[in-house]
Structures are given as structure tokens and as C-alpha cells.
Amino acid sequence: MSLGFRLAASDGAARRGTLATAHGAVETPAFMPVGTAATVKAMRPEEVARAGFAMILANTYHLMLRPGAERVAALGGLHKFMNWPGPILTDSGGFQVMSLAKLRKISEEGVAFQSHLDGKAHLLTPERAIEIQHLLDADITMAFDECTPFPATETEARESMERSMRWAARSKAAFRAREGYGLFGINQGGIHPDLRRASAKALIEIGFDGYAVGGLAVGEGQDAMFAVLDAVVPALPEDRPRYLMGVGKPDDILGAVRRGVDLFDCVLPTRSGRTAQAFTPYGTVNLRNARHLDDPRPLDESCDCPACTQYSRAYLHHLWRGGEILGSMLLTGHNLRYYARLMEELRAAVTAKRLAALSDTLTRGWARGDIPAR
């Protein structure tokens, strides 16, 4: 196995472990901030690390289009290029090809598409997706897959899943194994448990360093997502990391950790930080709301981030009313710190076998909501 993964504790299905990579260790369960185009928006790399994150995610599709994988490789690889010394996971580009690219055409060979940036024609195959991620020097490379759209008929989901499994085998054949580097397969099959289990079986037969669950958080709803996890996670190897792609909201993460998931990524904390939405123990807070105009309180008294320790709600509201860039920077930093603290709490609770109690505390807090100043 190219990556090291050691489980240290469990609480029910939930796990705590350590993922060892060429660029450092990651304590799991862990959340990865999204640095799509070699940057976590509104944050410097050292700020992301200080917020409490060991690993970030970057994207094959975006980086192949701009500035180009070969250029990044010539400049020393993605870690040096973006000044991030820690581990990096790169999405294979399959989701972005389906969601962003123009005039895409799927065949057994791969996906032919036109760039959403300039209309230039490209062909992304499993072999090219793996090559790009190798050039980027990703610690964790993702197999190329087709993200099954939602809704899809069972027949459509089956055809898509089976194609992804054939692409997974080609991805494995193209991957260059190195110590500290690994390749993850991606489970597909829509919301159909039998297809998800068949996908898990196919991936295990191919053999990967980790297993991701893809094709969720695309409109199916939380209950359907959890039903898929209930079906597929027990079918995945216990001694390999499990990654739920593109998820998510704090309560999604909590539910997935309780089902045995180890890794997460999502644009939500950074995107929300750029739209005045802040995550707190009492749910989300919209800093655009006029009720914050004269509020001297910190955004979250329990938080140790700069937004909460150095500024008032009134000032944060002022920044948004004035369209100041600092507002996005402070709230993005706060949201990332909130997610890091959430993962710290989850890891500690699994170790102490107190995850059920923490779940109750978190759920009650989110349900209570933010209380306006008197």
C-alpha cells in the first residue's frame, strides 16, 4: 500500500485514524478546504494551516485548463507552486467536466469537451487524468469517473457506474505507485443500493489505496445520501480511508462520520464566507442582516479566529454593507476555523467514545439558532 493508514479508535461505526502521505500526516476524520485553482479563496496558505487543516483539495479540470499541468510541473509541482507544503488531494475532473464544460461527449475512451473558459477542445481520458495529477504531484490521486447526474433512471445509473468501473481499472493501470502517494477509486451508482454495492465490489477487486463515495450532494437530499452511505460504507475495506466527495454541511459531516466516513471536502465554508454566511454552534448567521448594525458582540464567543476575537458583529456587518474585501477574508477564515474545530471535536469524541453525546449537543445547538442581541 502506497499510503499509510492506521486506525486508532472507534465509536460504533465512527473511526479515528491517521493517514500518512509523502507530505505529512492527516488525522481523521478530516475536512479538506477546497483550493480548486491552486488557492483556497480569500486565504493565504499559512492561514489555512493555522486554522487547523493538514490537507487541501485542488482540481484536475481547472488546473489542466489554466495554467496547465505541464507548466505546474516545470515550476516545481503544485506544492511549491501554491506554497502549500502539506498533503494535496486532486479531484480527477470528472464532476467538473459534467457540470462546467461545454458540448461534452462521453464515450468509452473518455470525455470530449470544450473549455468553459475559451471554448478550446479537449479530451480527458482516465490515462490523461492520472497523468495530469502525477504532473501536479498530488499525494492522493482520484480515479477518473463519470459523476452520475441526479435524477437518473436505474438503467442510466447502471450504465454510468459500469463505465466508471472500467475507467477505474484504466486509472489503476496508468497510476505510477510511489511511497507516500496513493490512488483512490470512486464509488458510483446513484441512489440505488444494489448498484452502489456492485460498484464497491468492482473497486475492491481492482484494488485501491482508499475508496471515495461520489455522486452525492447533487440534489438527492440528506435522507437519500445517508441511505446510500448505510448501503456502501460497510461494503468498503476497514483498513482503507473512506472519502465522501463534495460534502458538506456540518450536519451532513456529523451523520457521515457516524457511518464510518473519514475524509470530506466542500466549497461551502469558503463560498459562504464570500456571501456573508457564517457557521456557528447555533446555526448559520447572515452578517448582511440589519440586526447586526449596532451589535458589539463577537460573531461566536467560543471561536478563537481573528473575526471573532478582534472584531464585532457590527464591524463585520459594516464591511458587508460597504462591499469591503476584508469581510470575505474574515468570514472565510472564521468558517474554516469552525469546520476545523468541528473535526477536532469529532476526533476527540470518537477517542473518548462520546460521539452520541456530542451529536446531541451539536444538533441541539444548530436547532436553537442564533439569538439576537437584546
Active-site positions read 91, 265
- At a CB cut-off of 8 Å and minimum separation 6, what does 329 contact? 42, 43
- At a CB cut-off of 8 Å and minimum separation 6, what does 153 contact? none
181: helix, coil or strand? Answer: coil
Distance (Å, whole) CA 141 – CA 185: 9
Nearest to 90 by CA among 149, 27, 135, 28: 135
- At a CB cut-off of 8 Å and minimum separation 6, what does 10 contact? 16, 350
Q: Give the sheet arrangement for strand 102-106, strand by strand.
A: 102-106, 111-114, 121-124
The cell numbers describing 87, all together, are: 498533503
Which residue intervals of 137-265 are DSSP H helices? 154-174, 193-206, 222-232, 250-258
Half-sphere exposure of 9 (CA within 13 A, CB side): 16
Other beta carbons within 10 Å of 226: 16
C-alpha R_g of the chain:
20
Distance (Å, whole) CA 299 – CA 281: 11
- At a CB cut-off of 8 Å and minimum separation 6, what does 92 contact? 60, 129, 133, 141, 142, 143, 144, 145, 171, 186
